Structure 1
């Protein structure tokens, strides 16, 4: 796939090396609620150093368009492209943006709405609704929301089962799962019969500054 490089607006300190590395990394592919195949990549940011970009996979791999258009459940050329060109995804307000963004999760509860989950930790979650052109609302997480993760206890670290120098790290896009019996004609996928799940991991810094990932869900 030919995805053009993007220029970095500002890389400072240890991140200066990224300004001269062309191309993209960490690609992830998923569908939106409208059935669009989206490629999300990390590349140089137009706001800071490294950011997250989205583009319709059909724009960089045209052979896919014929495959989607041939679906017996759909008449016409397939879903309209929301991201026909590289579009950088952002945080709002601008003051909340970071110099190096990575591993966001996009998911679409319906064909009308999509969301970005920026972080998920044992103490907080940062999530926003996409409003078009890569722009998002401010954080919409309920301040009373209870965390679903927990950090390691001192006993677990002392027992050498876990490394204390680790952080939560989002790893994959979300997968939409409809919890219905196939023969149930009354199932409504827009209700509680539908859940989203994704894989996360603990990222651990080890000797010589390398990193090791421990998967979890």
Structure 2
């Protein structure tokens, strides 16, 4: 049972000791790497609810958050206020793709197994085996985590994540939070995770085939991140303008660790505020991210592909006109050069994480002085493939100018591979298959890693950093569990393909 915030106060030192003992037991008895290289799960999961007639196409897992999130992804492709349709097939690229393996899937032209793709592998700075770290929550199921440095305790970080509720009534989805610290290479909650007290959803406006989205309230797929001055939380929920929209709030209003700041912080985004977008409005909005220019003015980035959309943000959630038109001629050329190739129906490009600012030289170098020629905004997006009813996401980095016109500066030429990611097998314990035993696990697939959060690891560091600064990548695994990895920032930019107009 999850505790409310008022129930959390306890002796953290004692809890840490007890948690440490639990983790040692966990590390002793948890499933180990099998002979085929698959990492076992953190804990066992419950069976899913009985399938409703309305969602029969999705199998026994249809009433879970996994199925609804997938359908939200598909609906997002279709604008509701315009006849414009996105056509992913119009953009091609020169990136390396996976060759066909001897093992044949139902789709003979698809095989995402890692041996055939030229990845940039990321290795942890902290774990002894250099693999990613699990996040230990004492039995509370989570996925799609986000992490930021704790404001006062330099041994801890604050985590929020989607509460895994597939075996429960999911009429209300939840984000949960705890403070975490590193213990023997595992991120461990110092106390039981609690429900994040996000304001109740408004009455839904979804209609026709998507009316059932009105009956699942609460935050979906949240992001927590620092801007130049403050931490923010953004999440999906019922919209005033569409079916599902994006809301944001100053995270200090929701987290007890910021109690000392609540009386002195600016009175901006102190309540849940819906973030709008330039027309056309879509039925399902997902994964907007904020970025800040060199003068700390805030903007919202709504779409990367097939064309960028971004606008300046006002404090009531409204936005100005689409500013992407000012750099579209350059951006479209660069995206065509570097975006991974897509099939028309089964693959797409998704915005994924928040943004950070990076100066592309070393903090330790006295000659490294941030300016517009070396300092950029970066984010991670995903190339999503959906074959055999299983999604696989490959993460890429994109950089763009920190001041107008905010033109794209570069795009990864190789996707990132997180050390410890493995092939998809029954030992993955994906809820998509454990909650539907009759569903066959497709051959040749890798585990679905979905990067949700990028954050500087160092306490006191918020939005801006350098190549030699450590950062965290946090991610969900198969919408079933959570992980994170710490790396030097420079590792993300080793394979950056520069746009033609960039002098370097």
**Deviating more after overlay: 41-50 vs 8-17:** 8-17
1:207 & 1:21 partners in 2: Cα distance? 27
| Count of aligned pairs | 197
Runs of 4+ in structure 1 over 6 Å off? none
Q: How far is 1:31 from its partner?
A: 1.8
TM-score, structure 1 length as denominator?
A: 0.78
Q: 2:40 — aligned with what?
A: none
State the partner residue of 1:212. 392
Work out the CA distance in 2 between the residues paired with 1:153 and 1:38.
33
1:213, 1:189 → 2: CA distance? 33
RMSD between aligned alpha carbons?
2.7
Distance 1:84 1:136 in 2: 18
Deviation of 1:42 (Å): 0.7
Matched residue SS, 1:199: strand
Check if 1:120 corresponds to 2:304: yes
Q: Which of 20, 23, 33 pairs up with 2:215?
A: 20
Any idea what the Cα deviations from partners look like across 1:55-111, whole Å, max 9, x if unmatched?
A: 011111132243xx5xxxxxx96652421000000013xx42112100112111245
Q: Which has the higher contact order (CA 8 A, sep 6+)?
A: 2
Distance 1:185 1:212, change over 3 A: closer
Larger radius of gyration: 2
Answering whether residue 265 of structure 2 is matched by residue 85 of structure 1, we say: no
State the alpha-carbon separation in 2 of the partners of residues 78 and 192 from structure 1.
35
Matched, 1:3 2:198: yes
Note if contact 2:357-2:375 (Cα within 8 Å) is conserved in structure 1: yes
> 1:151-201 deviations in whole A, cap 9, x for unaligned?
5559xx7xxxxx962010011001111234436667654533321111111
Instruction: Tell me, yes or no, if the aligned pair for 2:205 and 2:238 is still in contact at 8 Å.
Output: no
Equivalent residue in structure 2 for 1:64, among 246, 258, 271? 258
Q: Is the 8 A contact 1:5 1:43 kept in 2?
A: no
5+ unaligned residues in a row in structure 1: which ranges? 70-75, 158-162
Normalising by structure 2, report the TM-score: 0.36
- CA offsets 1:113-152 (integer angstroms, 9 cap, x no match): 111111112x421111112211111111124233233455
1:99 aligned partner: 283
After TM superposition, list the pairs within 5 Å mapping 1:181-192 onto structure 2. 181-182=362-363, 189=370, 191-192=372-373
Change (3 A) 1:164 1:90: closer
What is the aligned partner in structure 1 of residue 75 from structure 2?
A: none
The equivalent residue for 2:322 is: 139
The change in CA–CA distance for 1:28 and 1:184 in structure 2 (over 3 A counts) is same
